[in-house]
Amino acid sequence: MAVERTLSIIKPDAVKKNAIGQICARFEAAGLKIVAMRMTWLSRAEAEGFYAVHRERPFFRDLVDFMISGPVVVQAIEGENAIAKNRELMGATDPKKAAKGTIRADFADSIDANAVHGSDGADTARTEIAYFFPASQVYSR
């Protein structure tokens, strides 16, 4: 298995719940390393750009409104099979369908306010990490 990097976002709902540390702890307990991290309040343009792939979806406007409703934590995480491992830790998009013990089952309230984002593949991971972090600010160790 290859060492991969993936982009994680702790969304405004989880930041408001004071769950940043608990979510980071799950990554670390699973053997993933946080190699870049920053708190930021996305502008509408930044959120629209990040979710550009969903531009035509009916929920796009609500998604962007939600993502700019408060500060978020953007982070790059690294480890063996990090992309799939993070998706497993996150659980299904709809927290009602998320497996027990996953981040979304434990911290998310709805499909809109679902606590975390995680890249869904190698190409998106690369693009999404570069969207927030220059290569010089990602610290493998």
Specify whether the CB–CB gap between 111 and 95 falls below 8 A. yes
81 dihedral zone (left: phi>0; alpha: psi -120 to 50; beta): left
Pick the closer one to ligand IDP by CB: 39 or 52: 52
Q: How far is the CB of 139 from Mg ion (least distance, A)?
A: 25
For residues 30 and 20, give the distance between their C-alpha atoms in angstroms, rounded to a whole number.
16
Q: How far is the CB of 110 from ligand IDP (least distance, A)?
A: 8
Q: How far is the CB of 141 from Mg ion (least distance, A)?
A: 28
Single out the residue of 64, 65, 44 nearest to residue 54, CA to CA. 64
Pick the closer one to ligand IDP by CB: 84 or 139: 84
113 dihedral zone (left: phi>0; alpha: psi -120 to 50; beta): beta
Pick the closer one to ligand IDP by CB: 58 or 134: 58
Q: Which does 59 bind (CB under 5 to 8 A by kind): Mg ion, ligand IDP, none?
A: ligand IDP
- Binding site residues, ligand IDP, CB under 6 A: 54, 59, 63, 93, 111-112, 114, 117, 120
- Binding site residues, Mg ion, CB under 5 A: 120
